[in-house]
Amino acid sequence: MDFKRISVVGLGYIGLPTAAVFASRGIEVVGVDVNQQAVDTINRGEIHIVEPDLDIVVKSVVSMGKLRATTKPEAAQAFLIAVPTPFIFNKEQGDDHEPDLSYIEKAANAIAPVLEKGNLVILESTSPVGATEQMAAWLAAARPDLTFPQQAGEQADIQVAHCPERVLPGHVLRELVSNDRVIGGMTPNCSAKAVALYKTFVMGECVMTNARTAEMAKLTENSFRDVNIAFANELSMICDKLKINVWELIKLANRHPRVNILNPGPGVGGHCIAVDPWFIVNSCPNEAKLIHQARLVNDFKPHYVIEKITSAADQFKKPVIACLGLAFKADIDDLRESPALDIVKHLAEQGVGRILAVEPNIQQLPTALASAGVELATLEQALEQANVVVVLVDHKQFKSCDKSLFLSKVMIDTRGIV
């Protein structure tokens, strides 16, 4: 297929870079998002997220007329769905973490009226196994005048596929182009057409499979990482109890030629690793025992850190706690599923002391923190006023600062930068 116009639904941390890269290859891209502010920002040639070099690319393609944003879908040859896929956690029902596919359903219903015979629809959102088939079913229900793969197989009017992103925040533009892509169509013809689309910019290999295997591949990748992080986090708590420096221990253990232990942290965050393993657990609870236990370990780690901070604050009549970092990883502004954010919120709600949050990548605090009394401070202000300092994210600003400034403080370093 010769793609001249495509639509990207969801202009967040994945959708906007993807739209910008397609547009940079000369394809007309219509971006769709429910956030009017984000739409207006993009149409000015600006961006509403932090991602290195993305502002340059967006400004260029918008000025050339290759990318524009809107709140209402328009006709296109291909539609890429890149909307959130969180889970629903009902404490009364235990930790089943039911996948929330409502964003995908809304996106499907939004594009359905403008679908035309020959169109390609790709689900990029990381999803539980079977989500692509469910999306196709929603589309079929909305457009009974068209045929879909589950009805007509290779002869379907609309081709449907799943192609999960697998990029690292902070390196998205480079990895979108260089990384291999797993592309799973509902039929081989769906896969082939999706490969043709991605090959307009992907320099890595486009590997074809079926939709269910593609969905499971992304979940498997992030579950593998989650299990390995859980080992490191559990090791850090064991070392804390045994009074062993976990950072030194890991460096020594990693001298073994076949050992590569990851570094521990205050938990696991982000929209993928903290969420995706639950999709596997939810689908096969009796079989996913190791994956489930890893999730429990990583979900417990923030509570362990909170206990450490509370104990340190009890040493002072008027504790002032500087929390360094709110993002889920270093040098980005993404706060989704961030253990650092949850830790700071819990400290404020428990009234442990005066809480100063240092996050160099944001301009204002999330409403939940501001309303709880958390103050946004610079690193200099926080180190001057605090008697307890907690390193939650290893931002470059924290790693490069003068470490002697920490000497007079009670330190809790969850990232090993001090």
- What distance lies between CA 326 and its chain's CA centroid? 14
Domains contained in the chain, number: 2
The closest alpha carbon to 181, from 169, 197, 170, belongs to 197
Tell me, yes or no, whether 388 and 302 share the same domain: yes
Query: What pLDDT is stored for residue 378 in this prediction?
Result: 96
| Residue 37 belongs to a domain | yes
- From 189, 204, 219, the end of a domain falls on 204
* 99 class by beta-carbon count within 10 Å (0-12 exposed, 13-18 middle, 19+ buried): buried
Per-residue pLDDT tens listing for the chain (418 residues)? 689 999 999 999 999 999 999 999 999 999 999 999 999 999 999 999 888 899 999 999 999 999 999 999 999 999 999 999 988 866 555 566 889 999 999 999 999 999 999 999 999 999 999 999 999 999 999 999 999 999 999 999 999 999 999 898 889 999 999 999 999 999 999 999 999 999 999 999 999 999 999 999 999 999 999 999 999 999 999 999 999 999 999 999 999 999 999 999 999 988 789 899 999 999 999 999 999 999 999 999 999 999 999 999 999 999 999 999 999 989 888 888 899 999 999 999 999 999 999 999 999 999 999 999 999 999 999 999 999 999 999 999 999 999 898 999 999 999 999 8
The amino acid occupying position 45 is G
Tell me, yes or no, whether 254 and 384 share the same domain: yes
User: Is 121 strand, coil or helix?
Assistant: strand
The angle that helices 276-283 and 289-313 make with each other, rounded to 10 degrees, is 130
Bridge partners of residue 209, in order along the sequence: 184
Query: What pLDDT is stored for residue 261 in this prediction?
Result: 98
Beta strands in 96-205 (DSSP E): 98-99, 120-123, 159-162, 181-185
Question: Where do we find the tokens 């593998």?
Answer: 224
Token pair belonging to 6: 């495509």
Q: Do the Cβ atoms of 268 and 338 come closer than 8 Å?
A: no
Q: What is the DSSP letter of 187?
A: S
- From 143, 176, 204, the end of a domain falls on 204
| Residue 391 belongs to a domain | yes
Query: What pLDDT is stored for residue 91 in this prediction?
Result: 56
Q: Does the annotation mark 218 as catalytic?
A: yes
Bridge partners of residue 182, in order along the sequence: 207
Q: How far, CA to CA in Å, does 160 sit from each of 145, 195, 197? A: 16, 12, 13
| Residue 104 belongs to a domain | yes
CA angle 262, 265, 268 (to 5 degrees): 90
Tell me, yes or no, whether 271 and 388 share the same domain: yes
- From 204, 231, 251, the end of a domain falls on 204
Query: What pLDDT is stored for residue 67 in this prediction?
Result: 98
Tell me, yes or no, whether 300 and 384 share the same domain: yes
Tell me, yes or no, whether 193 and 277 share the same domain: no
Tell me, yes or no, whether 189 and 260 share the same domain: no
Cα separation, 265 vs 340, in Å, equals 10
CA angle 265, 234, 127 (to 5 degrees): 70
Cα separation, 361 vs 341, in Å, equals 13
Token pair belonging to 281: 């657990």
| Residue 195 belongs to a domain | yes
Tell me, yes or no, whether 282 and 381 share the same domain: yes
Q: How far, CA to CA in Å, does 319 sit from each of 16, 392, 409? A: 42, 18, 11
The closest alpha carbon to 418, from 406, 381, 140, belongs to 406
Tell me, yes or no, whether 195 and 248 share the same domain: no
Q: Which of 163, 190, 206, 272 is catalytic?
A: 272
Integer-rounded Cα Rg, in Å, for the chain is 23
Q: How far, CA to CA in Å, does 255 sit from each of 166, 167, 225, 262, 366? A: 29, 28, 20, 13, 42
Query: What pLDDT is stored for residue 87 in this prediction?
Result: 84
In 64-94, which positions are buried (b, 16+ CB within 10 angstroms) versus exposed (e)? Answer: eebbbbeeebeebbbbbbbbebbbeeeeeee
Torsion of the alpha carbons at 257, 416, 394 and 222, rounded to the nearest 10:
40
| Residue 306 belongs to a domain | yes
Q: Which of 66, 193, 218, 345 is catalytic?
A: 218
CATH number at residue 68: 3.40.50.720
Q: How many CB atoms lie within 10 A of CB 204?
A: 14
| Residue 223 belongs to a domain | no
| Residue 232 belongs to a domain | no
Q: What is the DSSP letter of 368?
A: H
Tell me, yes or no, whether 128 and 255 share the same domain: no
* Host H or E run for residue 211: helix 211-242
Query: What pLDDT is stored for residue 317 in this prediction?
Result: 94
Tell me, yes or no, whether 154 and 296 share the same domain: no
Token pair belonging to 391: 């390193």
Domain membership of residue 397 as a residue range = 243-413
Cα separation, 32 vs 72, in Å, equals 6
Cα separation, 161 vs 114, in Å, equals 18
Entry pTM: 0.90
Tell me, yes or no, whether 251 and 348 share the same domain: yes
The closest alpha carbon to 70, from 7, 113, 114, belongs to 7
Tell me, yes or no, whether 26 and 117 share the same domain: yes
| Residue 237 belongs to a domain | no
Cα separation, 349 vs 366, in Å, equals 14
